Structure 1
């Protein structure tokens, strides 16, 4: 049996395969990388899967599971080319998606854009009011659903050629009967339509956020569903019949069926795999506090993992673009800063890098595929940090002169500086931009980078790791054994996961057991939903585990924080545990807590998990001597961040053994990445092949 992790990036598609060792002595791990195919990601995925099977010497039919991290849904939101969406909503509330919360994106700008108005997910003419009314707090029916209006609305949307429909009624999180009936009618009229109910996508309070989340699901859903099912078909046609699992934004994996219906849950699929890879690196390095820096060809992603615990964003922060999305997401931030990021002089004469990228096609100028604008990769080539004859292990030929020409034409000559100065400027600007983002995800959230190791991976991460660690004062740099494949490795380290939530507003001061029983009923029902989903995927009961979460706030606050619910039913005796868990979380997030202020439960969330086998990464050979000369390849001049050029030895990283030390200046070359060890630093090789880079102390 074999399983594969496939992570699609903007430039490359990364793969890792774990299979039974042919000698029957455990597991063997194989790595591979192919060019991404932005027009249809499934082509690159299928090509990579077949090639890695060939590398491993196995038949495609031996693959039993493929875990896939994809940017399809993310790209739809970035390019704003999703489906035309129709909406059925409670009469009188047609304009909630337009009004939003009257937050100004830029408080002091007179010309600011309001994306949810200028680029609405649902155009006003396609938002059709329906007569119906539910009453809080119980969800009792005050006015029955007018089924004739629903049918007429469906006919109208059908006549307009709209086949992605959302049904968003007020207070449907208290009672979903009207939404479910309206959905049934829409399906009668439009049997092939992609229909989403707000009570299915975001069954929680806050009508604007709930409606926006449902609209986003319908906006990205049809194309995402088509991609996932098309990939499933292509795999089958190529002789593969694996369980295809998709990485979700919350750090768990789920089925094609679930992710097709709830496409909003995989908006951060590609980013989440990288964070899980960072957690894996921390585990194999015995380093619990990690700041992840995943730099690929198009973007850079950052996350802070304290004590080995992946953080989930607060609901108030879960935005995709400018649209609120109430879907659990790993706390990760991304920016347009990768190897393909384009350097340019803007209209005001300022020297800038990114966020625009050369991507996979045409790619950096040095690729010789028609790109003429200078990129970060071109700058690394000019500085001698990437060797043309060993880029991607020699699989990709690059032309250093094309890199110099692009930088000279677009940066060096306009600024009247040398090509080398311009190249160094590109790297410094890039690192400055990234360090600010890292601080926003760590220092600004109460975490001291001096207590964290900076994990640098992605194809370009190890080139920038030390500079970024210096900029944010991280204590050391960790480089995984396969930096360019780490996000794919993270996919195989991820558990299957389902989440269900329900709003149950309850102030805990002087609460009675009868009110707590209402919460217990919600917990039991949501747990059954998780259980049914896991059982449908063939997960036996003894492999299932559940996390019970109360999303709480101080009475009168605007947003909630997560607090664990103790095992067993909620009672007056164990209720204090929920309060204390909330106070502790509030103190971690904000630095303070009010132990004497009323606590309110807003939402109950159940997370059902099925553990997957962990990837068995092989140990490397232990060195019997400190001599690293067998790994030495050659020396070439290289310019470092201090602006000085040194004769810098190149070492083949796969030839280094556990216990070896490489003092800078040095460059460690491997197929999927290149690691830069500046002067004054030393890289130490661990038993797993991981590098720890520290400043040399006297």
Structure 2
């Protein structure tokens, strides 16, 4: 079986090919084509297959992480959406929750008002009404008004339509009928109902999620269709799966129906890879730092389990979206981040990026701004002739010129001082994000290893580790394409949900029977979908979850449902587990309060082949001469002074298991460069992972891990 993982970033498109028959792995990076991401994807696949000497027609699976949906929300260039909603409730999307990020500011921007996903003139009221708590019909749907509204939206030339009626999560009969009328009158328009997209309680969040789904759908579907057609023209016969925000893969058909699930497709792969590498090497607690050309994705991964965002906090650019999302923080810190002096005289780096074109000044594509990559080139940490295996020749002269013209005169610094300052600022920005996502949540980053991912991750992660107090950095085999590698360890995964609002204390026989029936329906739907996707029954697993709260509480917490049929004792057990989870989450619980079931969720997983790394032969060499490429001066800050030190370059492909490289050193590979400062050392595990740690830790890779754990304990 031959599988390819493709991750499209803001600067580079990363690819990895795994030939499981020949047990060979090939990697490739190519500049992203942001005007049409599919061009870079196709070109990268062709070049990767050429390098691997594999006919493109023999690929079995292409696993894809994309930023298409994310970019639409950032650039505010989604579809014009029309909305049919319950009469007197057309302004739910405008009013939201009357919550502000800054409670006392009257000048802050509220995106749902300044840039609404659906303009008010396109939100048309329809006479109909359902009633809680069971969704019974209070007022029949006025089909005449639906038809009139469709004509108005067609005349307004909207590109997609959403149907969001009150209490449709309890009964979707009116939404279904309204959609039938829309498709009858306007077959070619994309139409989504809120009960299809997210059948959950909370009108505003449900409406917002459905609106976001319709907002990104036309462009996402166009991209998917274009990619599928381009692959077909290129002779690719492989199945195409796409990464979702939840960390699970999806078929193209499911992604087209619910493109809102792709909003964090790109960073999810990197988090999965970090968790997988930690488990592979026996390091349970990981801080994943994936630094690319445009941004850095930071995620805290305790016990090798990626954390999911609490639904109350799930949002994209200020718009709430009720879809499962891996907890990952993205900040504007990458190789293309631009350094500048602001109007107040402060030295800043990012979040604006030079991207892939023109890119940093050293790319020689017309860029004039000083970027992080320029700083690394000037300091000798990136060798111009080694960048991307020599495919892109960097210009040190252009980097020097950019920094001199934009920074040196304003800051009264030498070129080296300004370049080192760029790295200090960008590293401090990332360290602040790490602390905000760890210390603020009761996690001590000193007890976590840092996994250096992304093309720029291994260049910065040791400095980050020193700043946050960690003493172990892991550099995976292919750090520059970590997110693409994560696609190869992700399984097909879907969430199926149904709202069922009942108290768990003293349930009636009818209530227990209803809940059991709901779960069976969800499991049947999930099983059917995975079978349609080609998953064998033995590779299917189901996780049953009850989302519960105390009666009157604002938000729910997830509670695992025990196996088997539910009984009164089982519901009591779920309530008990909820108290425990509430105590962990908030620091207190109220065992005397009634627990209420709000939503039933079934997470279905279809297991797919995982990644297998060949073991390295044992070398057990100290600073192996056979791996040295050459020696070149590199800038380090030693005892507060800038010093040029003779620094050997090692070819990573020639390092063997348990080899030790003492700093200062630079370890070079096609997709990334690892910096080992003077007071640090690197060693290689049998799986090929680099462990970088302070020189006070002795021995090989296993000792690095063991002594790391001894220190944190």
Write out aligned runs for 1:610-621 (5 A).
Answer: 610-621=606-617
Answer yes or no: is the 8 Å Cα contact 1:445–1:589 preserved in 2: no
Against the structure 1 CA distance between its residues 695 and 513, is the aligned structure 2 distance closer, same or farther, given a 3 Å change threshold?
farther
Q: Distance in 1 between matches of 2:335 and 2:10?
A: 10
Q: Deviations over 1:398-426 (max 9, x none)?
A: 00111111111111111111111111111
Deviates more, 1:406-415 or 1:129-138: 406-415
Write out aligned runs for 1:249-264 (5 A).
Answer: 249-264=245-260
Q: Deviations over 1:107-128 (max 9, x none)?
A: 2323111110010000000000
Name the residue aligned to 2:688. Answer: 689
Against the structure 1 CA distance between its residues 164 and 466, is the aligned structure 2 distance closer, same or farther, given a 3 Å change threshold?
same
Q: Deviations over 1:140-168 (max 9, x none)?
A: 11111111111111111111111200000
Name the residue aligned to 1:400. Answer: 396
Q: Secondary structure at the match of 1:609?
A: strand
Answer yes or no: is the 8 Å Cα contact 1:163–1:190 preserved in 2: no
**CA apart distance, 1:559:** 1.3
**CA apart distance, 1:615:** 0.9
**CA apart distance, 1:661:** 0.8
Write out aligned runs for 1:600-639 (5 A).
Answer: 600-623=596-619, 625-626=621-622, 628-639=624-635
TM-score by length of 2: 0.95
Answer yes or no: is the 8 Å Cα contact 2:363–2:393 preserved in 1: yes
Q: Deviations over 1:356-383 (max 9, x none)?
A: 1000100100000000001110111111
**CA apart distance, 1:624:** 5.1
Name the residue aligned to 2:670. Answer: 671
Name the residue aligned to 1:545. Answer: 541
Q: Distance in 2 between matches of 1:548 and 1:329?
A: 18
Q: Distance in 2 between matches of 1:560 and 1:472?
A: 33
Q: State which of 81, 87, 94 in structure 2 corresponds to 1:98.
A: 94
Answer yes or no: is the 8 Å Cα contact 2:506–2:568 preserved in 1: no
Answer yes or no: is the 8 Å Cα contact 2:454–2:479 preserved in 1: yes
Name the residue aligned to 2:700. Answer: none
**CA apart distance, 1:641:** 4.8
Answer yes or no: is the 8 Å Cα contact 2:381–2:635 preserved in 1: yes
How many residues align? The count is: 694
Q: Distance in 1 between matches of 2:196 and 2:604?
A: 17
Name the residue aligned to 1:13. Answer: 13
Q: State which of 642, 647, 656 in structure 2 corresponds to 1:644.
A: 642
TM-score by length of 1: 0.97
**CA apart distance, 1:688:** 1.1
**CA apart distance, 1:523:** 1.3
**CA apart distance, 1:627:** 5.1
Q: Distance in 1 between matches of 2:586 and 2:475?
A: 31
Name the residue aligned to 1:39. Answer: 35
Q: State which of 77, 92, 95 in structure 1 corresponds to 2:73.
A: 77
Q: Distance in 2 between matches of 1:100 and 1:346?
A: 35
Q: State which of 136, 140, 146 in structure 2 corresponds to 1:140.
A: 136
Q: Distance in 1 between matches of 2:669 and 2:642?
A: 25
Q: Distance in 2 between matches of 1:588 and 1:639?
A: 46
Q: Deviations over 1:337-360 (max 9, x none)?
A: 100011111122221111110001
Q: Distance in 1 between matches of 2:97 and 2:477?
A: 47
Q: Distance in 2 between matches of 1:314 and 1:641?
A: 42
Q: Secondary structure at the match of 2:573?
A: helix
Answer yes or no: is the 8 Å Cα contact 2:471–2:694 preserved in 1: no
Deviates more, 1:641-650 or 1:426-435: 641-650
Q: Secondary structure at the match of 1:488?
A: helix
Q: Secondary structure at the match of 1:658?
A: coil
**CA apart distance, 1:515:** 2.0
RMSD of aligned alpha carbons = 1.4
Q: Distance in 2 between matches of 1:270 and 1:130?
A: 38
Name the residue aligned to 1:115. Answer: 111
**CA apart distance, 1:619:** 1.5
Name the residue aligned to 1:152. Answer: 148
**CA apart distance, 1:199:** 0.3
Name the residue aligned to 2:711. Answer: none
Against the structure 1 CA distance between its residues 591 and 435, is the aligned structure 2 distance closer, same or farther, given a 3 Å change threshold?
farther
